[in-house]
Amino acid sequence: MNCSDSVSLERTYLILQVTEWIYNAFSLLSSIYFVNRVCRISLIHINLRIQLCLIALPFAVEFTTRIADHVNVAFDNKPQVVTNVLCVIIAVVNGASVFSCVVTILNIAMERLFATVLSEYESRGATIGIALLTITVLLGVFLSAISLGYDIHNGKYDVKTTKSCLSVRHHPEAIPFAWIIAFSCCACGTIIIVKLYYYNRRQRKHITGISLSTRYQFNENMVTTRALVPAIGGYILFVVPGCFLATYTAIRILSYGDKGILVKVLIQILYMMADSYEMFFIIYVSIKYPPLYALVRRDFRKGWSKIFGEKCAKMGEESCTTVTPYSKNHAETTNTYFSELDKCWNQVPIKKK
């Protein structure tokens, strides 16, 4: 690689890094807003709400910990023990968030599997969602702790210095490896979700031997699974090219080492591809799900009216009435919910005798 190519790659890397920082500042705010709104919608089962939040937050946490790592290394005028403790905490949280991003689709598949298998799932609490969340976080923390302990034991991270202990600093190949694992988890999760969809679809058509509440649960599972398919498709859209790029990056690292500027650019692109899916997911769910869309629209109108005056404020007040059935009048909320489900029932063709 000649000097001009190296300078161009350095410039490209800097532009990509600045772009990602600006984008992720907006992404972090969007994630916090999305989680806040999803938690307020009682029409979504609590276990599914936990999974939606578990998709939106880890990407933002992963980026935030990388920034925190840069800040921790840059400001090294604090006591050594403080720097090292912060370094370990940042590394563990970063590893846990990366692991959560990798198993995103598999977590959704497991939640949908429990929703199908367990009886009276709709009346159950948040036990399953909390269990999946806890297992995901603990596994991520465990793997991060093992990686950090390995680096300390083998001298890759010296506890007596202020250098970063973030795993990717010592193992750039970890990011390509994470993409390949994400592809495998996505493939397994997609197969499970597709099979669950067709299973619920078949079970919903059964009339004899199944109670109405059970048929309702099969219908609810089918409708929810079908609504999540585009979100899964979006993940596949990002993870497939990301897997090929990650494979090339891993080969490049094994062949020429991890110190070249091209490797930095490739890893930066992989980071940005992962961050892009988070925003795609937030936008899709916000538009696809009517109660959430109504809340987002109301908040947008309110913010718009505060900026541009009273005329827009009246428009905002009018738009607020569109979300009343979802947010205030619980009886009307229930009626709206079941009427939407009835539409799905009517879509099933009746076989003529």
Query: One digit per residue, pLDDT tens: the chain, 353 residues?
Result: 566 667 788 888 888 888 888 887 888 888 888 888 888 777 777 777 888 888 888 888 888 888 887 777 777 777 777 877 888 888 888 888 888 888 888 888 888 888 788 776 666 667 788 888 889 889 988 988 888 777 777 766 666 665 666 655 556 677 778 888 888 888 888 888 888 888 877 776 665 555 666 666 677 777 777 777 777 888 888 888 888 888 888 888 877 776 778 888 888 888 888 888 888 888 888 887 777 888 888 888 887 777 766 555 454 444 444 444 444 555 565 556 556 655 554 444 445 44
| Alpha carbons 108 and 175: distance in angstroms, whole number | 22
pLDDT of amino acid 353: 44
Ranges in the chain annotated CATH 1.20.1070.10? 3-288
311 by Cβ neighbours in 10 Å (0-12 / 13-18 / 19+) ranks as: exposed
What 3-state class would DSSP assign to 204? Answer: helix
pLDDT of amino acid 153: 76
What string of DSSP letters covers 218-243? Answer: HHHHHHHHHHHHHHHHHHHHHHHHHH
312 by Cβ neighbours in 10 Å (0-12 / 13-18 / 19+) ranks as: middle
Question: Which of these, 49, 48, 42, 86, lies nearest to 67 by C-alpha position?
Answer: 86
User: Domain spanning 3-288 has what CATH number?
Assistant: 1.20.1070.10
Q: Give the predicted TM-score (pTM) of the model.
A: 0.73
What 3-state class would DSSP assign to 43? Answer: coil
* H-only helix segments in the chain: 3-39, 46-74, 80-102, 104-117, 127-153, 167-170, 174-204, 212-256, 261-288, 290-308, 310-320, 324-327, 330-346
HSE at residue 290, side-chain half, CA atoms within 13 A, is 10
pLDDT of amino acid 167: 56
Phi, psi of 158 (to 5 degrees): -95, 115
**Count of C-beta atoms within a 10 Å radius of residue 5:** 11
pLDDT of amino acid 327: 46
In the 8-state DSSP scheme, what is residue 156?
Answer: S
pLDDT of amino acid 322: 42
Distance of CA 322 to CAs 19, 288, 294, 319, 326, Å? 37, 16, 7, 6, 8
Contact by Cβ (8 Å): 90, 166: yes
292 by Cβ neighbours in 10 Å (0-12 / 13-18 / 19+) ranks as: buried
